Amino acid sequence: MIDGVIFDLDGLLLDSEQVWDAAREELANERGGRWHPKAQRDMMGMSSPEWSRYMHDVIGLSEPPEEINAEVVRRLERRYRDHLPVIPGAREAVERLAERWPLALASSSNRELIDLALELMGLTHHFKATVSSEEVTRGKPAPDVYLEAAHRLGVDPTRAAAIEDSHNGIRAAKAAGMRVIAIPNNHFPPDEDALAQANVVLNELAGLTAETVSPAER
């Protein structure tokens, strides 16, 4: 039995992983950092304190992590207001599941970007709770953000379903004890080990239905 559904954001509802990648790589190049091909995958799922520290320590930016974080967020906000990269079927999938369950969102994005994205998509009212990983101790693949989302939603984590696209996100939701529906990101697909932890793997959001989330309730 499922009592609530928790969505990821980047790579699932928004085709934004490469937008994040571009903004951080742009900043690194402007500020004399040492960008490398694995940087995006390394930072995927990290909370903002974690990835901004990575940008400082590993990429080599001289600014304090707090300033790095604020500048990347400013660049993302401009991009989102200019063009929000909504994945086809995202709004419809949220609306479909909102008819059956209370929804939450557990994202590695900053609070400002979560709120802006949901506002621009017209989906804010469908989410009873939203959690940024900057509001918990550890980012994905630790389960913290999913456990907090379940807490705010008022459901037992073992009676929640998580909808994820990335390897760290799948691992985080599984570590929280949730039923995991994976919809792999085309640009940064999860590895086979992570996919094997998912209860269901779908090709696209169109397949995300109430029956997929909770077959026992058909």
Q: What superfamily does domain 4-15+85-217 belong to in CATH?
A: HAD superfamily/HAD-like (3.40.50.1000)
Dist. CA 150–CA 130, nearest whole Å: 10
**What pLDDT score does 218 carry?**
52
**What pLDDT score does 79 carry?**
96
Query: Fold match between 4-15+85-217 and 17-82?
Result: no
What are the CB-based long-range contacts (under 8 Å, 24+) for 29-36? 31/61, 31/62, 31/63, 32/60, 32/61, 32/62, 33/59, 33/60, 33/61, 34/58, 34/59, 34/60, 35/59
Domain ranges of the chain: 4-15+85-217, 17-82
What backbone torsions phi and psi does residue 182 show, to the nearest 5 degrees? -100, 135
Mean pLDDT across 81-87? 97
Q: Are 156 and 175 in contact (CB under 8 A)?
A: no
* Helix (H), strand (E) at residue 176: none
In tens, the pLDDT along 126-164 reads: 999 999 999 999 999 999 999 999 999 999 999 999 999
Q: Are 160 and 6 in contact (CB under 8 A)?
A: yes
Count CB atoms within 10 A of the CB of residue 88: 11
CATH number of 17-82: 1.10.150
Confidence band for 112, pLDDT divided at 50, 70 and 90 = very high
**What pLDDT score does 44 carry?**
81
